[in-house]
Copies of this chain bind each other. A is one copy, B any other.
Amino acid sequence: MTCDSSSTAATDEPRPADSRAEAFQEVRSARRNELAEDYVELIAELIHEHGEARPVAIAARMGVRAPTVTKALDRLAREGLITRERYRSVFLTEKGRALAHECRRRHEIVLRFLIRLGLDAETAERDAEGIEHHVSERTLALFEAYADQV
């Protein structure tokens, strides 16, 4: 009854579904997962390399201070990606392990792709660390195909 064609007012969606806006919203949503992704990937690596993941090692590899790690780990635990006890090293849950695996795969593909494209290893590593969080499965498939070219 009341509602009608009153220009941009509340119709259906909470916000105008400009396809452009959607892209930005996607990016924002991807950004919210970046940290968790980098952490679990790193934790998996540390466990693989050293048998355990100590906060001090995480801090060093992430390039942040210890309290930053403590807080981040609290969030990861809250999200069910890790388990931990005070003053002890960190373990991945099943869910965390799955995410770590997925992230590692993406990281690897993006890295191999960039190197295949002709980039030096150093720069490739840096760019991959950022790009990996913003490639769709579709893009990833194309990257992989290119990297695996004969």
Contacts and interface: CB of A to CB of B under 8 A. Distances in A.
A136 B117 contact: no
Given A21-B62, A60-B18, A63-B18, A131 B142 contact: no
Stoichiometry (number of copies):
2
Interface stretch (A23-31, A69-77, A79-87, A96-104): A23-31
B136 A123 contact: yes
10 closest A-B pairs by CB? A130-B134, A21-B63, A27-B130, A23-B129, A25-B63, A23-B126, A131-B134, A117-B142, A16-B60, A24-B63
Interface of A: 8, 15-16, 18-27, 30-31, 34, 38, 60-65, 114, 117-120, 122-123, 125-127, 129-131, 133-136, 138-139, 142-143, 146
Given A20-B63, A23-B125, 8 more contacts: A20-B125, A21-B61, A23-B129, A24-B63, A27-B126, A117-B139, A118-B142, A130-B134
